[in-house]
Amino acid sequence: MKLSKKVVLIGHFGVGKSSLIRRFVENTFTEDYKVTIGVHVLKKDIKISEKDTDITLVIWDLEGNDDITNTRPSYLIGTHGFIYVFDLTRPTTYENLEFDLNYIKGRYPNLPIKVIGNKKDLVTNEFIKENKDTFKPYVDLYTSAKSGQNVEEIFNLLAKSLL
């Protein structure tokens, strides 16, 4: 059985959305920062072996938006699940985490959202421990598009919740 699911990465400018997708789809990383204008769509076929199912993830990389309420609703039509990305090195990208997640949940109450703190390669485990009250209630995984840590895992985790 082959399913196709639309997955949208959402989060502020520069948190690593494009890099995570590139790491997941092409297994590459670049330090260059190219701003996404509008939307960029990539596809990847994955297998959920536990459920013996193949899924095509149709992954939408939206242009960064520091104010979630400005996200264009037209880009979100037909979405099956979200990955909300913040940057562990920049507090401005996670200080409104609760507001942003409630905003998405309020508009798309039945859709799964996974939350990741990205750029894990740039912070220590101590830093994450010290800030556990900020991160732990929300974060599913800490990722690094640079090293690849937990990148495949987060897409697989979301994919499983789409079945």
Residues from 47 through 106 that contact ligand GDP (CB under 6 A): 64
Residues from 106 through 125 that contact ligand GDP (CB under 6 A): 118-119, 121-122
| Tokens encoding 97 | 């985490």
In the complex, minimum distance from the CB of residue 140 to ligand GDP, in angstroms, rounded to a whole number: 16
In the complex, minimum distance from the CB of residue 107 to ligand GDP, in angstroms, rounded to a whole number: 21
* Alpha carbon distance, N-terminus to C-terminus of the chain: 12
Is residue 33 involved in binding ligand GDP (CB under 6 A)?
yes
Strand, coil or helix: 82: strand
Is residue 146 involved in binding ligand GDP (CB under 6 A)?
yes
The backbone region for 16, taken as left when phi is positive above 0, alpha when psi lies in -120 to 50, beta otherwise, is left
Strand partners, 9: 61, 83
Strand, coil or helix: 25: helix
Give whichever of 150 and 156 is closer to ligand GDP, judged by the CB atom: 150
> Count residues contacting ligand GDP (CB under 6 A)?
19
Give whichever of 2 and 34 is closer to ligand GDP, judged by the CB atom: 34
Angle at 16 between CA 114 and CA 20, to 5 degrees: 65
Q: Which residues of 131-160 are buried (b: 16+ CB within 10 A; e: fewer)?
A: eeebbeebbbbbbbbbebbbbeebbbbbbe
Instruction: Return the residue of 31, 50, 52, 133 that touches ligand GDP, per CB under 6 A.
Output: 31
Is residue 18 involved in binding ligand GDP (CB under 6 A)?
yes
Is residue 8 involved in binding ligand GDP (CB under 6 A)?
no
Is residue 16 involved in binding ligand GDP (CB under 6 A)?
yes
Strand, coil or helix: 60: strand
Residues from 125 through 144 that contact ligand GDP (CB under 6 A): 144
- Residues of the shown chain interacting with ligand GDP in the complex, contacts defined by CB under 6 A: 13-19, 30-31, 33, 36, 64, 118-119, 121-122, 144-146
